[in-house]
Amino acid sequence: MKTNLILFTVIIAITIQNLNAQFTQDSLVYSFDALEPYIDAQTMEIHYTKHHAGYVKNLNKAIEEANLLNKSIDHILKNVSKYNSTIRNNGGGHYNHALFWQLLTPMKNTKPLEKLSKAIDSTFGSMQNFKKQFNQEASSRFGSGWAWLIVTPQKKLAILSTPNQDNPVMDDAPVKGIPILGIDVWEHAYYLKYQNKRNDYLDAIWNVINWEDVSTRYESAISQK
Percentage, residues of the chain above pLDDT 90: 88
CB 180, CB 201: distance < 8 Å: no
Lowest mean pLDDT among 12-26, 46-60, 98-112, 126-140: 12-26
Domain boundaries for CATH 1.10.287.990 within the chain: 2-19+39-102
Residue 123 pLDDT > 90: yes
Residue 19 pLDDT > 60: no
CB 90, CB 62: distance < 8 Å: yes
Task: Decide which of 118 and 225 is more confident.
Answer: 118
Residue 220 in 3-state DSSP? helix
Query: What was the pLDDT predicted at 21?
Result: 86
CATH topology of domain 114-223: minor pseudopilin epsh fold (3.55.40)
Tell me which residue of 66, 67, 59 sits closest to 88, measured CA to CA: 59
Query: What was the pLDDT predicted at 76?
Result: 97
Pick the CATH number of 2-19+39-102 from 3.30.930.10, 1.10.1200.10, 1.10.287.990, 3.30.1330.20: 1.10.287.990
Domain boundaries for CATH 3.55.40.20 within the chain: 114-223
Residue 18 pLDDT > 60: no
How does pLDDT run across 48-63, given as a tens digit for each residue? 999 999 999 999 999 9
Neighbours of 137 (CB within 10 A): 18
How does pLDDT run across 179-212, given as a tens digit for each residue? 999 999 999 999 999 999 999 999 999 999 999 9
CB 200, CB 191: distance < 8 Å: no
Query: What was the pLDDT predicted at 28?
Result: 97
Tell me which residue of 42, 7, 53 sits closest to 192, measured CA to CA: 42
Distance CA 108, CA 106 (A): 6
Tell me which residue of 158, 157, 207, 209 sits closest to 183, measured CA to CA: 209
Residue 110 pLDDT > 60: yes
